Each structure stands twice: as structure tokens, then as C-alpha cells.
Amino acid sequence: MGSLKAILKNPDDLFPLLKLKIAARNAEKQIPPEPHWGFCYSMLHKVSRSFGLVIQQLGTELRDAVCIFYLVLRALDTVEDDTSIDSDVKVPILIAFHRHIYDNDWHFGCGTKEYKVLMDQFHHVSKAFLELGRNYQEAIEDITKRMGAGMAKFICKEVETIDDYDEYCHYVAGLVGLGLSKLFHASGKEDLATDELSNSMGLFLQKTNIIRDYLEDINEIPKSRMFWPRQIWSKYVNKLEDLKYEENSVKAVQCLNDMVTNALLHAEDCLQYMSALRDPPIFRFCAIPQVMAIGTLAMCYNNIEVFRGVVKMRRGLTAKVIDRTKTMADVYGAFFDFASMLESKVDKNDPNATKTLSRLEAVQKTCRESGNLTFWGVRADMAQP
């Protein structure tokens, strides 16, 4: 649960935190008894506690498919992220990964901590995958194949232009959006969303993570991971790693604001995607991460701490987001409030101020014109650390 100090500063966090703790315990009790399914759900909670909570709201059949989809892509991502693996070893594994998921004996030693356990015991994931309905299997295989090929492409290619950045984010996250839309459709609970809107759902989350994780990625050992596009950062510094040095603080914040402004391009598509969802559990599953993303962007914008440490919502505010995000009115309200908070942080002298304000106004306009707006008052919530 949140720290005592944080709860004392924000006493209204306590009830949502308690609800979150109870939900976490209930989720752990629902872990299936079969060893391979037990491994998959236990591993899901270890690699992403918040995802493990939200996924529990889905019906059993769809929940199983989404769980395996997530673990397969997390394993693929573990191979891509491990900078100690030589490219001539890594690339063939990425390209062939969609075939490995059908092999009960396949595993590959890489990653650290829980990710190493996932890779060493991947046969449990394969066994569970083979028990899914064929329509789910085909969707997971297709996305895994396309993602592996895309990741392999960028092992040998740097993110130079904004088009490269969008393409990379499409491979590692936009395809997740497409895959989830296919799984929702295969369950019979949703119409099939367009690829464009599905892609934006993934890109909004991925770009937020890339912005937030700058310092962790640039300090990666033995080799930095560099995802910020040269087309953006080269306007401010000579080398991407220069952004973390104190003497470049002004330029670093300007570059950061440029990156946040780029991410905001996808916000309206995300609102359109979510507004079309009919099934309440699927809606919450999709909406909670998107609300977290725009909240994280609001925290990161104009914040030098992105280059000094980790910037993220306190646990109590995360619990509030999970508790409050129930309807589209809640989502419109959260996006409007976070956009307003972000707007208040825009320095008129920032090189991208006009563009940033234009994108924020477009988000606010969409929320207002929906006629379906529940205000959150997030500025007061985020005023305390």
C-alpha cells in the first residue's frame, strides 16, 4: 500500500488504496490450480501488478487469451531489451518467435529477475497458448510475427526521424492495440476497431513510457537504449545523453516538452476508440492505462526530474484512477482535467508552446463537446507528492 507519509498528506487516498489492496488479494486467490495456468497468472502479477489487476475484470475466456497475449509479447520484449545478447543471435529469435509459441519445449535464457524466470519456463506459456481457441491463437501468432519482424528491423536501425519513431512504436505497442482489438472482436463482445485507432491506443501508452523512462534507458548497461528520435533531440543537444547533464537543463526541458507534444497527437484517437466500446469490463481494461498515461504526461511536462530520476504518480493517485474510471464520462473528465493541468504548465516562451496548447485545446474541445463530462479535480490530487 502507499507509504504512511503519503497517506497522511493525502488522507482521501486511503479508501482507494484499501480497495486496491483487497482487489490484489482477490486476484491472487483467483489464480487457476493447473500448474501452467498458475504459472502464467502468477507471472502476470509479477511483471505487471496493475495489468494483473485490470485483466481480472474480463470474462474467463477473454482473460485467458489476453493474459497469454501479454506474456508472449513480454517475453518477446525481454529478448529485444537484453542488450547483452549479440545481434546475430537476437535477430533470428525475434523473427522466429511466433513459431516458438507452438513449441512446448522452447525456452531461452535471457533477462533478469522475474523476466528470466518467464524465459526459462516459457513452456508453461506455450502449453496455455495451445489450449486457447483457434481464433485467439491466430490473432496472437499474427501480432507476434509482425512485432518480432519489426523489432528485428530496429535492432540494426536507429530511431532517426519522427516517422522512424512512429514506426518503432507501432511495432512494439501499436500492434498490441491491433491485437487486443482482434481478441475483443474474437470474443464476440466488440466490433472490430480500425487499425488506425487501435494503433493510436498503443502509441499513446508507448510514447508516454519512452518519455518517462529516458534516464533508465540512457543508463542501461552494457549499452544505452535510445528511443527518442534524433529529429527532435538534435534541435537541442549534440548527443541524446547530453540531456541528462545539469548544464543542459533548459534545453533538456524544451526537448522533453517537444516529446510530450508529439505524444498528445494520439489523445483524440484514444478517446474515439474508447467511446465506441460496449462491454464495461473491456472498457475499464482499456481506459485505466490511458488515463494513467495522460496523467503521467501531465507530470512529466516541463519537469527536469525526468532527467534526474523516476517521475510517476504516487500509489494513492493510481488507486484513485483505478477506482474512478468506470464510464466514458469519467474518461472525458480525466482527460479534460489532466489536459488543463498540463496547459497550466506551458511556458509561453517554450519553442513548442503554440503547438502544445493547440493539441491540448483539441483534447479539451473533444471532451467538452461529448456532453458527457465528469470532472475529477486532479490538480488538487496531484499537488501533493
Question: In angstroms, what CA-CA distances link 202 with 196, 245, 270?
Answer: 10, 31, 9
Of residues 74, 212, 284, 314, which has the active-site annotation?
212
Of residues 70, 129, 165, 168, which has the active-site annotation?
168
Residue whose C-alpha is closest to residue 265's, from 323, 206, 222, 182: 206
Catalytic residue list contains 225: yes
Of residues 70, 115, 285, 332, which has the active-site annotation?
285
Instruction: Answer yes or no: are the C-beta atoms of 190 and 278 closer than 8 Å.
Output: yes
Instruction: Answer yes or no: are the C-beta atoms of 98 and 148 closer than 8 Å.
Output: yes
Catalytic residue list contains 168: yes
Catalytic residue list contains 214: no
| Euclidean distance between CA atoms 260 and 254, whole angstroms | 10
Listing DSSP states for 342-376 in one string gives HHHT--TTSTTHHHHHHHHHHHHHHHHHTT-----
For residue 2, report the phi and psi dihedrals to the nearest 5 degrees: -60, 160
| Euclidean distance between CA atoms 266 and 207, whole angstroms | 10
Catalytic residue list contains 212: yes
| Euclidean distance between CA atoms 313 and 344, whole angstroms | 18
Listing DSSP states for 64-118 in one string gives HHHHHHHHHHHHHHHHHH-TTS-HHHHHHHHHHHHHHTT-TT-----SSHHHHHH
Of residues 108, 146, 225, 315, which has the active-site annotation?
225
Instruction: Answer yes or no: are the C-beta atoms of 132 and 114 closer than 8 Å.
Output: no
Residue whose C-alpha is closest to residue 141's, from 151, 130, 153, 127: 130
The catalytic residues are 168, 212, 225, 285
